[in-house]
Structure 1
Amino acid sequence: MRFPDLHRGVLLARRQRFLAEIRLDDGRDILAHCPNTGRMLGYSAPGLPVWASRREPGGRCGWTWELAELGQTLVGVHPARANALALEAIAAGRIPALAGYDQVLREVSYGREGSRIDLLLRSPGRPDCYVEVKSVTAADEFGLGIFPDAVSARGLRHLRELQAVAAAGARAVLLFCVQRDDVLAVRAASEIDPAYARGLAQAGAAGVEILAWQCAISPREIVLRRRLPLLR
């Protein structure tokens, strides 16, 4: 996935979760939309180098915060890009476990709790494959990507829905899209959301396939590139 033209700067402040004050390298002070409303652990401190793109005309601010820079590592700030990255990788056949389907549907209603599945893969003669995509951007001190970075009742609901899908005979897949290239594996953040960690273990035992794939990131593009181990 190609980025629009990105402009480098420094984060001055994150305001009300949805906004970021940034001073660009050319000296301009801008107000950027922050697409990540979570805690953004470890990559939202004032003074951090960041990258922003111009937004389409309209709205409160004319910029979007796209990347945070941690030394040699870039972190994708935009969690909604995870679905598009997964779709692109599946279409290109880069994820073998999800290859060979004829049709990919997005945001399909399913389940008993009013959910929408991110991607539904279909082919004649094969069970439907329900794919829930989660963006991983936080990491711990040991170089492990962690999810979630805040208590996630929504994420726990999705695990229940995927378990029901697996019990009904379809494929149920949870795909962690890791939007940083400095982690070695992915784990559930039991210290942040123990209920989610238990739910993830239960889902895996109940037949939900759990995959973790890592992005390669530059200021020009972000691509889902390689599989990571999942620590249980």
Structure 2
Amino acid sequence: MADTACFIHHPGECCRARFVRRYKRFTVEAVALDGPDSGRTVLAHTNNTGSMLGLLRPGTVALLSPAASRGRKLPYTLEAMELHGRFVGVNTLTPNRMLRRAWETRSLPELAEYDTFRAEARTGQSRLDARLDGPGGPLWVECKNVTMVEDEVACFPDAVTERGHKHLRELMALAATGARVALFFLIQRTDGRCFGPADVVDPVYAGLFYEALERGVEAWPLVARVDRSGVRLGRRLAVVRP
């Protein structure tokens, strides 16, 4: 699929910064290269709990968006890291925002028949990222952010994810009831030629992923092009089969 009109802006005008370190899991320290804090050391929140393998290298250029509230403890949010001259999006809220935008713009054929979109929809004792409803019944979707590429294969996850195991089991349980269910993998870099689970990183996830496909769970891996202004939905990748 070629790049579409499906585009989302970063929240606020981003600045470039030189990455220094990540600490306390959710905090990034960097030196602003432009914007109102140019030349100063700034702190940014990162919502990405993965390893961001190969991206968090001291001296690497980062893309930071300003916090919506001036009173927030950390004045910036980490949106992307530069790799080989291109930005790799690391904000884990972006896939959810992109899925909704894809539905609004009718950019994904799989979403065309659905009339309503509900985020953080409850099923049993859990919540999934989205539920869409249409004449044929509901569609449940869980969104994942992909930042890792190895040997031209876009891979998920980049760290062991028990939460991801849980989501796959929940999706399989829903599929067993006859519901339509899917995984939306937003690959926020452009150097992958296909997609597959990172079995070297998390073999349990890889096994559950392929089991889920056999049980009717759909996988939608789509590339995103990230720049200073925002994120654009791009082409679909094939899924590597064992």
Give the partner amino acid of 1:75: V
Quick one: which of 79, 88, 92 aligns to 1:75?
A: 88
- Determine the structure 1 residue equivalent to 2:139: 129
Q: For the residues of structure 2 that align with 1:115 and 1:149, how far apart are their CA atoms? A: 23
Q: For the residues of structure 2 that align with 1:74 and 1:170, how far apart are their CA atoms? A: 37
Q: Is 1:172 matched with 2:181?
A: yes
Q: Is 1:226 matched with 2:235?
A: yes
Quick one: which of 38, 46, 63 aligns to 2:76?
A: 63
Structure 2: gaps of 5 or more residues: 1-7
- Structure 1 segments (4+ residues) deviating >4 Å: none
Q: For the residues of structure 2 that align with 1:185 and 1:15, how far apart are their CA atoms? A: 32
Give the partner amino acid of 1:131: V
Q: For the residues of structure 1 that align with 2:206 and 2:144, how far apart are their CA atoms? A: 14
Question: Which gives a bigger RCO, structure 1 or 2 (Cα 8 Å, sep 6+)?
Answer: 2
Following TM superposition, by how much is the alpha carbon of 1:161 offset from its aligned partner in structure 2, in angstroms?
1.1
Q: Is 1:188 matched with 2:197?
A: yes
Following TM superposition, by how much is the alpha carbon of 1:212 offset from its aligned partner in structure 2, in angstroms?
0.5
Contact 1:67-1:75 at 8 Å conserved across structures: yes
Query: What is the SS of the residue equivalent to 1:57?
Result: coil
Identity %: 36
Give the partner amino acid of 1:20: V
Give the partner amino acid of 1:37: T
1:150-189: per-residue Cα shift (whole Å, max 9, x none)? Answer: 1111111111111111111110111111111222121101
Structure 1: gaps of 5 or more residues: none
Q: For the residues of structure 1 that align with 2:25 and 2:238, how far apart are their CA atoms? A: 31
In the comparison of the two structures, how many residue pairs are matched?
A: 228
Contact 2:48-2:92 at 8 Å conserved across structures: yes
Following TM superposition, by how much is the alpha carbon of 1:131 offset from its aligned partner in structure 2, in angstroms?
0.8
Query: What is the SS of the residue equivalent to 2:9?
Result: coil
Q: Is 1:100 matched with 2:110?
A: no
- Determine the structure 2 residue equivalent to 1:41: 53
Contact 1:131-1:173 at 8 Å conserved across structures: yes
- Determine the structure 2 residue equivalent to 1:109: 122
Q: For the residues of structure 2 that align with 1:67 and 1:46, how far apart are their CA atoms? A: 14
Q: Is 1:29 matched with 2:41?
A: yes
Alignment of 1:205-224 (within 5 A): 205-224=214-233
Give the partner amino acid of 1:187: G
1:121-166: per-residue Cα shift (whole Å, max 9, x none)? Answer: 1113x021111111111222x1221111111111111111111111
TM-score by length of 1: 0.94
Quick one: which of 17, 20, 40 aligns to 2:25?
A: 17
- Determine the structure 1 residue equivalent to 2:66: 54
Quote the RMSD (CA, aligned, Å).
1.2
